[in-house]
Structure 1
Amino acid sequence: MSDANRAVITEFYQAFNRLDAEAMSACYTEDVVFSDPVFGVLKGRQAGDMWRMLTLRAKDFSLTFDSVRADERTGAAHWVAKYLFSQTGNTVVNDIQARFVFRDGKICEHHDQFDLWRWSRQALGAKGVLLGWTPLVQNAIRAQAQNGLKTFRAGR
């Protein structure tokens, strides 16, 4: 196990818990590739800007992480974010599995995986329960997230 790479993952999530997007971004290489079920694939500065946007907008936020493991090239962690989804006022508890690839002591790939239907049931309420599993609603969630990021980046 690589203690240095474990430390990078730990540093990333400690910074996230403080809502410190700059410290989070400092854990990434300049050409990082990030992916998750909502934002899709983000590259380079897009990934850091996503964290900047999310940390700036966070309400009633808390984070826990565990099961951090890493070797010389790859790593993984489990994390849970709890926050208020501002569009509906609903509380979301998002349970996420993260995978990482490292290069030169930093994260060059970060892939988060979670159940988008479970997220939509919490965030959207009845609409998420009834329709959150459908491609139509999931694609609308993705489009809204990507448009929000585009607007955020344009304002920077």
Structure 2
Amino acid sequence: MNLIETFYTAFAKGDWQTMANCYHPDAEFTDEVFVGLKGKEVPAMWRMLIERGGGNMEITHSHVQLAGEQGNADWVAVYIFSATGRRVINRIHAEFELKDGKIFRHRDSFDLHKWAGQAMGFKGQLLGGTGFFRKKVRKTARAGLDRFLSRNN
């Protein structure tokens, strides 16, 4: 099994330790919500998301490709957004750069506006495409990760 398959298989099982072991110590991660994470922040984010999900997250992956040090995959997360109790189906495209046999750069892309509509209903549909909303979500997510890191280091 290649590294990307290992990563998503572990994610589907809620195994954040194996996910963490897939990352290079100097890894970088960015998506629509968590921007510019580095080093220990990267696996901590996955651990936080898994623990917050409380086992109520369904993760599937497909179209995994790995050629040399470059890879990509598509994955889907189905879960209940804890802040609103609304069901979310988030379709994500991931791109990877490997270094020393580990994930060095990881970029996830998804439609934040669509996510916001699912997670927050009408308010998310109305505001989810705005820069204000994007900044607010990123700030809230960053604060949550910082709190998590301070409790788990």
TM-score between the two structures when normalised by the length of structure 1: 0.94
Compute the displacement of 1:72 (Å). 0.9
Paired residue for 1:122?
118
Paired with 1:100 and 1:144, the residues of 2 have a C-alpha distance of: 26
Aligned AA for 2:100? D
The match for 1:51 among 46, 49, 60 is 46
Compute the displacement of 1:76 (Å). 0.3
The match for 1:86 among 72, 78, 82 is 82
1:131 aligns with 2:127: yes
Paired residue for 1:11?
6
Listed one character per residue, the Cα deviations across residues 3-22 of structure 1 (whole Å, up to 9, x for unaligned) are xxx61000000000011111
Paired with 1:48 and 1:152, the residues of 2 have a C-alpha distance of: 12
Paired residue for 2:72?
76
Equivalenced residue count is 151
Q: Which runs of 4+ in 1 moved over 6 A?
A: none
Paired residue for 2:136?
140
Gaps of 5+ in 2: none
CA RMSD of aligned residues (A): 0.9
Paired residue for 1:104?
100
Paired residue for 2:34?
39
Paired with 1:121 and 1:65, the residues of 2 have a C-alpha distance of: 23
Compute the displacement of 1:104 (Å). 1.4
Compute the displacement of 1:49 (Å). 0.5
Paired with 2:141 and 2:90, the residues of 1 have a C-alpha distance of: 16
TM-score between the two structures when normalised by the length of structure 2: 0.96
Aligned AA for 2:4? I
